[in-house]
């Protein structure tokens, strides 16, 4: 009634899904407004679709994967079609297979995506989840992850929830509001007299449930309008009062039955009946009375309240003693094998400390954790702490609850529980663990300086491996903040505290002391220590697959004498992290590998791909500090392809994240990215303004702290602006501070000198020297960049024939990198020499997106669609869709041409 617009939107969702355009629609409105009716209407209109249903239930919110199990149960026969690692993790989470399989919670989400995609191959799929606000955290996260990452699959996801539950990125929200007065009156037609309908609509409002419940509670005379309406009618927040007469009129046995149902976890009529029998109540009579009065509905063994508000009202009406008794009865009737529910009921029935029960609950938390049920595990540990008589043990359990909340991605809960530990007299080990977890959470999703404060406090309390990890994380924070003094102090602490007999502690100590030495101006010692850390991490079997080491090793690679030699190690560990679903690690690693591919390997398609994936995953996780550098590189790559609006948007987001992370004062990398994007669009004045600011701020160090790292861009800008004297002075200073430079730096030094040299012959010699240095350490971007500048100088000096050779080589090289803007710039210089023919490699008319590039790179390496999908946490249809776009944009007919388009880098 009165929902034509909402139904039209649901129809579009279904039509889009049938056509391979998946969607996620959130129906949002207050209790009783008609959300469930819309979901039922969607199911009725989903002809030809596989309809999957589940409902969040308040009492089941602490059970791991409860909603996901209900939702995906019908698809279990399709599990063999899911990639093996994802299938094993999903089976472990849902109790379909052994729990002791590797993989993180995100692998369950990826498995959910793959299972839905497999079902959609046979028929369109409609996923309906009611009361999402009460779904267990893992189920909600897995479903929303899957819904956001399908593309080309025939999947529609329609969920209902109440307002105030927080934003859902990537979802369209369909508000469901009160019925207009005319529709409200029509709803009551045939139930009450027209005049009564008008009065009820005016007093109760347009909430359908309230109208129907109030009308049903009226006496016949009141419905007919021969007697006045009651003075007090339940409206607004008091809507649940409409159910009071029904509950008040229940016989004692039925009241007990509905209280047991409110406390139950599985909605089983048999479980409620067994509990009633244990209490001496006739189950049949009690359940029949509750059903006859319309409080509950029964379908076989499934028993449910007619409306979720009834559950809440029943529970609020009960005394604490009655609630504990209900849990006690249910604990004694739990089905065999349902030990988690039994322990939970016993724990909720306990009125005082019970150390034995606390131990059982902690063990149940371990089983929930094995099923990737971190929210359930955290809740169980919190309750176990409350049941423990030993304050020290309670603090340890709460500390473990903090850890599981953080692992499950619930930073708000982790912080709240941590406060309870830190306010009490917790042992040093528990306080250290909590402070460490908070430091990691803050570093990922909040303020980097605040993370440093937390980690310093943890370092004063931690011992053993925990201390080594705390100090390592602290060194990472200090690296982000450019705190060289702090890094040196941290290096001394870890060197003194690390156990040389523990390979992990040796790796961490070597890494921290190596990074500190590099920042302190001792590169030789720093590189030796980092090389030692890498060798130990690779040489110890127990450390070869440790995902937490991967970000450290990738960061170290940039300082090693031969970075390409370490690429196979990084690539192997990156594959393993993907196989584990270690998304948190992947955000940091992909952000760094993107920069490494661009700056060390010259692999710009790979850099574009990694940066794009890092940004997408960071958005999924709410990460901040690692997302900003990825956004910066994504902006650079977009600008180099001529996508300047897109680049500007990425830079805006990067600035916001840098400010939120508290690293704006030391964000040289952000300014350098802004300057490069300005150079790509030809705005030399902006390049100069930005980099002059860095000169004033810190002497113009580069993104990795290299002396005068801003010089190559600033010299080019000043030269183009006619500020020759300033450019020449900076070029000379750059040469002086780059003592015994490695070939890449030597090439840039020579290029700067060439740009500022007034004599054409001398400039030619310097450009030739720059190209010779590039040849010793080929850089696919900087080499053609130098050729472009050299060719332009040759053209201006009248040497057009030689200029054409340099410019044609530059244009071809830029086109091979898919850097359209730079290729077009080189072509423009070529035309200025009088050449009219296009270069040997035609320019693409439409640049690839980051995701298209990512998929194309993996496909070019020989991965099948299914393998690409598994690696990138996508569906095969999504991969197929993007590959089709790649073929269209590049004029290819199959993946045979991809290998030539995206050859291996390094």
Give me the DSSP letters along 501-558: T-HHHHHHHHHHHHHHHHHTT-HHHHHHHHHHHHHHHHHSTTTTT-GGGHHHHHHHHT
Q: Say if residue 747 is exposed, middle or buried (CB neighbours under 10 Å; 0-12, 13-18, 19+).
A: buried
pLDDT averaged over every residue in the chain: 91
Residue identified by tokens 């990215």 is: 673
Among 35-49, 578-592, 886-900, name the most confident range: 35-49
CA distance 773 to 117: 51
Q: Confidence class of residue 1 from pLDDT cuts 50, 70 and 90?
A: confident
List the beta strands (DSSP E) in 73-184: 125-130, 155-161, 172-175
CA distance 220 to 261: 32
List the beta strands (DSSP E) in 77-171: 125-130, 155-161
Both tokens assigned to 170: 């990537």
Looking at residue 58, what is its pLDDT?
81
Q: Which residues pair with 159 in a beta bridge?
A: 26, 129
* pLDDT-wise least confident of 58-67, 451-460, 477-486: 58-67
CB of 529 closer than 8 Å to CB of 495? no
Backbone angles phi, psi at 141, to 5 degrees: -65, -45
Q: Is 273 left (phi over 0), alpha (psi -120 to 50) or beta?
A: alpha
Backbone angles phi, psi at 235, to 5 degrees: -135, 165
Contacts of 481 (CB under 8 A, 6+ apart): 448, 449, 452, 663, 666
Residue with the larger pLDDT of the pair 610 and 667: 610
Q: In this structure, what DSSP letter does residue 599 have?
A: I
CA distance 105 to 263: 28
Q: Confidence class of residue 318 from pLDDT cuts 50, 70 and 90?
A: very high
Q: In this structure, what DSSP letter does residue 132 have?
A: G
Q: Say if residue 107 is exposed, middle or buried (CB neighbours under 10 Å; 0-12, 13-18, 19+).
A: buried
CA distance 133 to 126: 19
Q: Confidence class of residue 236 from pLDDT cuts 50, 70 and 90?
A: very low
Query: Is residue 697's pLDDT more than 90?
Result: no
CB of 601 closer than 8 Å to CB of 567? yes
Alpha helices in 626-759 (DSSP H): 627-640, 644-661, 668-680, 684-698, 711-720, 724-737, 743-756
Q: What percent of the chain lies above the pLDDT cut of 70?
A: 97
CB of 28 closer than 8 Å to CB of 160? yes
Output the DSSP codes for 450-474: HHHHHHHHHHTT--HHHHHHHHHHH
Model confidence over 266-304: pLDDT tens digits? 788 998 999 999 999 999 999 999 999 889 999 888 898
* pLDDT-wise least confident of 29-43, 438-452, 630-644, 731-745: 731-745
Query: Is residue 901's pLDDT more than 50?
Result: yes
CB of 269 closer than 8 Å to CB of 303? yes
Query: How many other C-beta atoms are found inside a 10 Å radius of the C-beta of residue 800?
Result: 15
CA distance 334 to 263: 12
Rg (CA), the chain: 32
Model confidence over 92-130: pLDDT tens digits? 999 999 988 988 899 999 999 999 999 999 999 999 999
Looking at residue 666, what is its pLDDT?
73
Q: Which residues pair with 173 in a beta bridge?
A: 26
Both tokens assigned to 310: 């009834």
Looking at residue 836, what is its pLDDT?
60
Q: Say if residue 520 is exposed, middle or buried (CB neighbours under 10 Å; 0-12, 13-18, 19+).
A: middle
Both tokens assigned to 524: 């030789």
CA quadruple 544, 549, 553, 554: dihedral, nearest 10: 110
CA within 13 Å, CB half, 582: 21
CB of 399 closer than 8 Å to CB of 362? no
Residue with the larger pLDDT of the pair 778 and 8: 8
Residue with the larger pLDDT of the pair 403 and 519: 403
Query: Is residue 839's pLDDT more than 60?
Result: no
Looking at residue 701, what is its pLDDT?
86
CB of 545 closer than 8 Å to CB of 564? no
Q: Which residues pair with 155 in a beta bridge?
A: 125
Residue with the larger pLDDT of the pair 205 and 523: 523
* pLDDT-wise least confident of 8-17, 444-453, 526-535, 735-744: 735-744
Closest Cα partner for 321 from 259, 246, 248?
Answer: 259
Q: Confidence class of residue 601 from pLDDT cuts 50, 70 and 90?
A: confident
CA distance 713 to 693: 13
Cα 573 to chain center, whole Å? 20
Backbone angles phi, psi at 160, to 5 degrees: -120, 140
Query: What does each C-alpha distance from 84 to 81, 96, 432 come to in angstroms?
Result: 8, 14, 38
Q: Please measure the distance between the N-terminal and C-terminal CA atoms of the chain and give it in whole angstroms.
A: 64
Residue identified by tokens 């150079």 is: 679
Q: Confidence class of residue 309 from pLDDT cuts 50, 70 and 90?
A: confident
Q: In this structure, what DSSP letter does residue 221 have?
A: H
The structure's pTM equals 0.86
CA distance 326 to 256: 8
Looking at residue 899, what is its pLDDT?
85
CA distance 658 to 650: 12
Closest Cα partner for 617 from 658, 641, 587, 592?
Answer: 587
Q: Say if residue 228 is exposed, middle or buried (CB neighbours under 10 Å; 0-12, 13-18, 19+).
A: exposed
CA distance 148 to 153: 11
Residue with the larger pLDDT of the pair 145 and 233: 145
Both tokens assigned to 8: 């039209």
Looking at residue 838, what is its pLDDT?
53
Secondary structure class of 350 (helix, strand, coil) = coil
CA distance 598 to 582: 24
């Amino acid at each position: 009634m009165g929902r034509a617009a909402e139904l039209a939107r649901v129809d579009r969702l279904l039509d889009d899904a049938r056509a391979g355009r998946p969607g996620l629609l959130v129906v949002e409105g207050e209790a009783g407004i008609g959300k469930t009716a819309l979901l039922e209407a969607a199911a009725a209109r989903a002809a030809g679709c596989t309809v999957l249903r589940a409902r969040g239930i308040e009492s089941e919110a602490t059970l791991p994967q409860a909603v996901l199990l209900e939702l995906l149960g019908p698809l279990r026969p399709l599990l063999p079609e899911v990639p093996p690692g994802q299938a094993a993790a999903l089976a472990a989470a849902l109790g379909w297979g052994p729990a002791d399989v590797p993989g993180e919670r995100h692998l369950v989400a990826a498995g959910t995506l793959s299972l839905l995609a497999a079902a959609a191959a046979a028929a369109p799929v409609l996923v309906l989840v009611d009361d999402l606000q009460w779904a267990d955290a893992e189920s909600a996260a897995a479903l929303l992850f899957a819904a956001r990452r399908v593309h080309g699959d025939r999947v529609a996801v329609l969920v209902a929830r109440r307002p105030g539950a927080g934003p859902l990125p990537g979802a369209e929200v369909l508000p469901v509001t009160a019925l207009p007065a005319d529709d409200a009156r029509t709803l009551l037609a045939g139930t009450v007299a027209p005049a009564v309908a008008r009065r009820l609509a005016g007093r109760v409002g347009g909430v359908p449930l309230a109208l129907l419940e109030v009308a049903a509670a009226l006496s016949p005379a009141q419905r007919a309008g021969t007697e006045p309406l009651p003075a007090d009618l339940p409206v607004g927040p008091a809507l649940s009062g409409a159910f009071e007469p029904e509950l008040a009129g229940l016989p004692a046995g039925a009241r007990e039955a509905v209280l047991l149902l409110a406390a139950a976890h599985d909605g089983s009529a048999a479980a409620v009946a067994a509990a009633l029998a244990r209490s001496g109540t006739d189950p049949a009579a009690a359940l029949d009375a509750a059903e006859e009065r319309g409080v509950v509905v029964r379908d076989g063994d499934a028993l449910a309240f007619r409306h979720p508000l009834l559950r809440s009202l029943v529970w609020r009406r009960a005394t604490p003693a009655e609630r504990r008794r209900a849990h006690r009865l249910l604990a004694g009737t739990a089905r065999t094998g349902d030990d988690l529910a039994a322990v939970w009921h016993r724990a909720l029935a306990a009125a005082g400390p019970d150390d034995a029960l606390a131990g059982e609950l902690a063990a149940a938390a371990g089983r929930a954790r094995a099923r990737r049920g971190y929210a359930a595990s955290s809740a169980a540990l919190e309750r176990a702490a409350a049941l423990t008589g030993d304050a020290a043990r309670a603090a340890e359990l709460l500390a473990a609850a903090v850890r599981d909340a953080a692992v499950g991605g619930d930073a708000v809960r982790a912080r709240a529980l941590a406060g309870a530990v830190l306010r009490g007299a917790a042992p040093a080990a528990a306080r250290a663990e909590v402070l460490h977890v908070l430091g990691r959470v803050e570093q990922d999703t909040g303020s980097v300086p605040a993370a440093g404060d937390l980690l310093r406090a943890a370092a004063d309390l931690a011992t053993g491996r925990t201390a080594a990890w705390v100090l390592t994380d602290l060194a990472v924070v200090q690296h982000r903040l450019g705190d060289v003094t702090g890094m040196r102090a941290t290096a001394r602490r870890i060197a003194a505290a690390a156990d040389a007999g523990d390979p992990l502690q040796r790796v961490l100590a070597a890494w921290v002391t190596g990074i500190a030495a590099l920042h302190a101006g001792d590169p030789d010692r720093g590189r030796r220590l980092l090389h030692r850390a890498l060798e130990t991490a690779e040489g110890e079997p127990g450390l070869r697959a440790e995902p937490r080491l991967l970000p450290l090793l990738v960061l170290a690679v940039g300082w090693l004498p031969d970075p390409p030699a370490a690429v196979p190690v990084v690539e192997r560990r990156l594959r393993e992290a993907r196989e584990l679903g270690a998304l948190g690690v992947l955000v940091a690693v992909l952000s760094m590998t993107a920069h490494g591919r661009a700056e060390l390997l010259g692999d710009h398609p790979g850099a574009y791909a990694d940066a794009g994936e890092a940004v997408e995953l960071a958005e999924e996780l709410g990460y901040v500090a690692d997302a900003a550098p990825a956004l910066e590189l994504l902006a650079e790559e977009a600008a180099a392809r001529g996508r300047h609006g897109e680049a500007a948007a990425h830079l805006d987001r990067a600035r916001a994240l840098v400010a939120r992370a508290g690293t704006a004062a030391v964000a040289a990398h952000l300014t350098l990215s802004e300057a490069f994007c300005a150079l790509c669009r030809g705005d030399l004045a902006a390049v100069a303004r930005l980099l002059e600011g860095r000169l004033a701020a810190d002497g113009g160090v580069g993104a990795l702290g290299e002396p005068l790292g801003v010089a190559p861009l600033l010299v080019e800008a000043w030269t183009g602006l006619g500020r020759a004297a300033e450019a020449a002075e900076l070029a000379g200073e750059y040469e002086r501070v780059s003592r015994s430079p490695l070939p890449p730096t030597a090439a840039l030094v020579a290029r700067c000198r060439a740009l500022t040299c007034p004599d054409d012959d001398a400039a030619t010699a310097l450009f030739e020297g720059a190209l010779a240095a590039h040849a010793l350490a080929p850089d696919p971007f900087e080499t053609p960049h130098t050729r472009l500048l050299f060719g332009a100088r040759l053209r201006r000096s009248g040497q057009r024939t030689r200029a054409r050779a340099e410019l044609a080589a530059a244009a071809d090289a830029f086109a091979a990198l898919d850097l359209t803007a730079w290729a077009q710039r080189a072509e423009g210089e070529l035309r200025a020499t009088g050449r009219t023919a296009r270069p040997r490699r035609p320019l693409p008319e439409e640049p690839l997106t980051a995701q298209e590039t990512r998929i194309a790179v993996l496909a070019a390496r020989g991965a099948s669609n299914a393998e690409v999908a598994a690696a990138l946490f996508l569906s095969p249809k999504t991969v197929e869709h993007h590959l089709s776009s790649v073929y269209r944009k590049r004029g290819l007919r199959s993946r045979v041409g991809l290998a030539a388009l995206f050859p291996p880098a390094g």
